[in-house]
């Protein structure tokens, strides 16, 4: 198979398996999505979804969030891990949204990445899932699979993102990054991986992975 054929095989297989791609993190608007994505760093979406209702009950917008202290936020979000950094980030970015953006989440990468505790991946998720602007957020699943599928060298998430954007059509990015995540969780996990169930890697995987 040529590289173009491999890419098409990935697209076709994922479309068959995951014609629908619900957003894994529960939210109701760009602000609650931003907070949920920030909380999901080094945690699972399932765990975040158990904590966000408790937080959003007290504050689901920046104006209510800044009324809470950093310690109060930290107490609620403790179970998701990294709570000292995340609670400061949530409080700090809520202040900035009020001061600089009329309480709204900005619709551009530069402004998003300037917010405390918001990196490029978080900004990409918000742009893609809240505003439907083409982005390719690379998480651990996508990074692992792009390497296993021999579509990227696995050196860095920055390189993986560049390769994904170069190989896949832009109009598919927003759906495809979610399809790859769902596939990685179900068929190509980091641990307890059964290559026989992983049809994509079995078909196009790099030789060193298939040994």
Given the residues 86, 139, 163, 198, select the one marked as catalytic. 139
Q: What is the DSSP string of the chain?
A: --HHHHHHHHHHHHHHH-S----SS--SSHHHHHHHHHHTTTS-HHHHHHHHHHHHHH-SSHHHHTTS-HHHHHHHHGGGS-HHHHHHHHHHHHHHHHHHHTTSPPSSHHHHHTSTT--HHHHHHHHHHTT--------HHHHHHHHHTTSS-SS-HHHHHHHHHHHS-GGGHHHHHHHHHHHHHHHS-SSS--GGG-HHHHHH--HHHH-
Catalytic annotation present for 3? no
Catalytic annotation present for 139? yes
Given the residues 121, 155, 196, 198, select the one marked as catalytic. 121
Active site residues: 121, 139
């Amino acid at each position: 198979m040529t590289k173009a054929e491999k890419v098409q095989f990935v697209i076709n297989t994922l479309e068959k398996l995951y014609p629908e791609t619900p957003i894994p993190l529960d939210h109701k608007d760009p602000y609650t999505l931003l907070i949920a994505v920030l909380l999901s760093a080094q945690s699972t979406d399932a765990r975040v979804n158990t904590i966000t209702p408790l937080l959003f009950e007290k504050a689901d917008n920046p104006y209510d969030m800044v009324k809470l202290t950093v310690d109060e936020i930290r107490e609620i979000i403790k179970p998701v891990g990294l709570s000292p950094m995340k609670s400061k980030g949530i409080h700090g970015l809520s202040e900035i949204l009020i001061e600089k953006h009329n309480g709204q989440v900005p619709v551009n990468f530069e402004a998003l990445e300037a917010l405390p505790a918001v990196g490029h991946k978080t900004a990409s998720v918000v742009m893609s899932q809240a505003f439907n602007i083409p982005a390719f957020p690379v998480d651990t699943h996508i990074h692992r699979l792009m390497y296993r599928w021999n579509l990227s060298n696995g050196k860095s998430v920055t390189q993986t993102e560049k390769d994904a954007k170069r190989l896949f059509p832009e109009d598919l990015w927003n759906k495809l990054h979610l399809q790859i995540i769902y596939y990685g969780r179900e068929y190509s996990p980091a641990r307890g991986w059964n290559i026989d169930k992983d049809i994509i890697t079995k078909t196009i995987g790099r030789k060193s992975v298939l040994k």
